[in-house]
Structure 1
Amino acid sequence: MITDDEVLAAAVRNNAEWCQSMCRAHGLTGAFGPRAWTSTARTPLYYPDAVTLTEEAGAGDVVTGIDRTTAGASVKDSYARVDLTSEGFRLLFEARWIARPAGLPTPAAPGDWRPVRTPEELAAWALAWSGDDAEDAALFRPELLADPATTIVAGYGDDGRIIGGGVLSASARVTGVSNLFAAGDMDPSAAWAGVLASVPADRPVVGYESGDDLPPARAAGFGELGPLRVWLGA
């Protein structure tokens, strides 16, 4: 039986591994240390330059391992314990880690939900995810399709258009969900159901959400594990 503390630690590690996968798709390589994951090169849009991995991590574990030659470096403080104000960072946002136990039934979702397999399908998925913002959509490169730990899931309506989706990232003990979205008038709860249908029933599912995105996650069977913070450097 995996405890809540173990699930939280697995969620933190899973998220750092997903950040590593995204960096790798952009030709970058981060490094896992005993208390933090860091990237010496600036990471892709919306992705942190460092992620704390333990409650014991301090400012020195993250700030010294990242590029701060230009503004905009960011740090994911996974346990909401590191104050980076004195290092010239400001708090960007707070969120909650979430987890869904293995074995819960998944309600049926409208549409046809399946993994994205080709670069063309990925390009369409990314535009739907970004709301037709081509610059944001360019974040999702075809290299991600070759990553065995990553599954990008799309939901298709009767007319063939994408109605929702998300990213699944498998790690040793859990599967992470990120970048979940519902397009048009799709209910976010239906998007959760569609994406979760692609996760093996015997694996806990983890991620993080904040604000108005938390209630649909709770409705999908997720409970809260604890806080996290994201800091942005000047």
Structure 2
Amino acid sequence: MTDSRATPLLTAAVRNNAAWCDAVCRSHGVPGAVEGGVWASPRRTPPLYPDAVTLSPDVTPDAVLPRIDLASPGASVKDSFGTLDLSGAGFEVLFEARWIHRPAVELVPGPEGWRPVEDAAGLAAWEAAWSGDGQSGDLFRPSLIEDGAVFLAGTGEGRIHAGAVAYPGAGVVGISNLFAADDGLDTAWRSCLAATARLWPGVPVVGYEHGDDLTAALRHGFEPVGPLRVWLRADG
């Protein structure tokens, strides 16, 4: 039986994000696969990316835990519907957030604004700006661009000052890693949405946020469509 919480909008957001997580892992040579309503990798995934992502609210811990590495510290699970309890396996809640959805934005004529990064050098500069410390840690690799990811960059005075990742799939465009080094979040969201409308006309936008970032997204036409929870197991 399909859980009423698995609405089409929520399912699209979850599947788009799982595909993005898989793309990042593959770019690092880390394998992942979907089985039993769970995307999971048996090896530790790159920093900030989960070892498993649930694709159904009906998934149980027994469908997740045997498929990830519990022997070394740092196992993490993206509980996409907020339905799991992994505390009995030594996990703690790292954070809770809300999936968000926005209907397609009508393109308003004007300056081009944010533009896609086109090469490895541009991607390294983008990651250095996103990291906040001016360093590129090789988390985002050029093969992601070949895989369909678009790293949007707002530039000025010869440097990147804002940006986001846009990843198309499951009938939507997923936005993640939105940042604004100089501009506020409102300016960043306006620029991001204008760019997605230009690149993917007529396609809805999804993602997930929490705290002040969620509040900012809601100001720009997003609506929450479901909860999510990220679990972390510090010990092996």
Note whether the superposition's TM-score is higher than 0.5.
yes
Shift of 1:34: 3.1
Asked whether the equivalents of residues 37 and 52 of structure 1 are also in contact (C-alpha less than 8 Å), the reply is yes
Shift of 1:59: 0.4
The equivalent of 2:53 in structure 1 is 51
Asked whether the equivalents of residues 33 and 41 of structure 2 are also in contact (C-alpha less than 8 Å), the reply is yes
Q: Secondary structure at the match of 2:150?
A: strand
Give the letter aligned to residue 99 of structure 1.
H
Q: Secondary structure at the match of 2:67?
A: coil
Distance 1:156 1:89 in 2: 40
Alignment partner of 1:85 is 2:87 = yes
The equivalent of 2:191 in structure 1 is 194
The share of aligned pairs that are identical, in percent, is 50
Distance 2:108 2:186 in 1: 10
Give the letter aligned to residue 66 of structure 1.
I
Shift of 1:133: 5.2
Distance 1:110 1:219 in 2: 22
How large is the RMSD of aligned CA atoms in angstroms? Answer: 1.9
Q: Paired residues, what number?
A: 227
TM-score normalised by L of structure 2 = 0.91
Asked whether the equivalents of residues 108 and 193 of structure 1 are also in contact (C-alpha less than 8 Å), the reply is no
The unaligned stretches of length 5 or more in structure 2 are 1-5
The equivalent of 1:210 in structure 2 is 210
Shift of 1:110: 8.3
Q: Which runs of 4+ in 1 moved over 4 A?
A: 106-111
Query: In 2 relative to 1, CA 179–110 (structure 1 residues): closer, same or farther, beyond 3 Å?
Result: farther
TM-score normalised by L of structure 1 = 0.91
1:25-104 to structure 2, matched below 5 A, reads 25-102=27-104, 104=105
The equivalent of 1:123 in structure 2 is 124
Distance 2:26 2:194 in 1: 27
Distance 2:113 2:133 in 1: 21
The equivalent of 1:14 in structure 2 is 16
Shift of 1:107: 6.8
The unaligned stretches of length 5 or more in structure 1 are none
Shift of 1:189: 1.3
Distance 1:108 1:24 in 2: 37
Asked whether the equivalents of residues 109 and 190 of structure 1 are also in contact (C-alpha less than 8 Å), the reply is no
